[in-house]
Amino acid sequence: MDPLSSLLSGIRAEGSVVTHAVLRSPWTIRFADRAPLVMVTVLRGGGTLVLADGSATRLIAGDTAIVQACEPFHLADTRAALDRPHMGYELSCFVPHGFGPADLACATPELVETATGAPEETSLVVGAYRASGRRHERLLRALPPVMVVSDDPEVCAWLEQSAADAVRLSAGSQALMDRLLDWALVCTLRTWLAAQEHCAPAWYRGMADAVVGPALEAIHNDPFRRWTVADLAAEASVSRALFARRFSEVMGETPLAYLTEWRMAEAEELLADPNRSVAQVATTVGYADAFGFSAAFKRLRGQSPSEFRSTVRAPALAGT
């Protein structure tokens, strides 16, 4: 286990969609899923990604964009298409048959031919990702609203063929597509994070460090063990002093501060389960008693475990 794997453990694709659209300009596709992450891979054609705040990002064939989609967003042939009459489509991964015309009053789309006589085609693979719990929030804080990774056309061709094969097989086709998109999300995030180099989050950079990496792996493999700095130094096969100094240099915090923060993130997941008492959560995350855990939780989160639990349950009850 490593930090990225831990942060992604609660994120899964659901209802992945393959779209092949032959459209006449101007056109737009509205992405309606309000998901933590939506991934859009452009297989052919391209367009301009426009967020709810108006910011725009141009995508071409071979580009994969990962969008924090708390609000609906658009892909348009040009940014100006949103401001004049156009053929509009809506796409949602979370509803059956979730791709179709969004405004039937618009003119019927027509083929538009390129200089070679072939119609322009926009072809996409889209995955929307639901999240369970709150663990993924630390990952989202490390990402921009839109991140784009450009890939070799051969990789996109492989993805398109794999998606087409998945769709043709009736048994398990949706599950196969969703797992394919889970794989693609991890690969895209790893590529983007690696390209950030020294600007990547500390939890990512630390895994590549000879001293810090083994300790991070140990923490994430067994986050509830009562680790000491000496224990973690032993995992890295260095002295306690060298380990503590190097960890602080790379991670920007002490080993025990990192461990405590990660335990609190895990505690948030456990507190969302009403069948667990605060004392049970405290013991699970490595505290000897509920008092010590509650004090640490309130110091780092600004509210007691019981107060946090009530705030987590309130939205869920409101939706019932």
Q: What is the pLDDT of residues 163-194, one digit of tens each?
A: 667 666 667 777 878 888 888 889 899 999 99
Chain segment 73-84, per-residue pLDDT in tens:
999 988 887 888
Q: Where are the alpha helices (DSSP H) in 132-228?
A: 137-141, 153-168, 173-196, 202-205, 212-221
Q: Which residue has the tokens 């899923």?
A: 33
Cα–Cα distances in angstroms (integers) from residue 217 to residues 56, 137, 196, 231, 259, in the given order: 38, 20, 21, 13, 12
| pTM metric for this prediction | 0.78
Cα torsion angle, 235, 236, 237, 241, sign? negative
Burial environment of residue 302 by CB neighbours within 10 A (0 to 12, 13 to 18, 19 or more):
exposed
Chain segment 263-285, per-residue pLDDT in tens:
898 898 889 888 899 999 999 98
The share of the chain scoring above pLDDT 90, in percent, equals 39
Tokens linked to 273: 């389960």
User: For residue 49, what are the β-bridge partners?
Assistant: 57, 75
Q: Which residue has the tokens 């069948």?
A: 275
Per-residue model confidence (pLDDT) at position 16: 73
Cα–Cα distances in angstroms (integers) from residue 137 to residues 4, 60, 198, 268, 269, in the given order: 12, 29, 21, 12, 12
Beta strands in 262-307 (DSSP E): none
> Which position has the higher pLDDT, 225 or 111?
225
Print burial letters for 76-104: b (CB count within 10 Å at least 16), e (below 16). bbbbebbeeebbbbbbbbeeeebbeeeee
Average of pLDDT values for 107-124? 49
Q: Nearest 5°: CA angle at 9, between 8 and 11?
A: 65
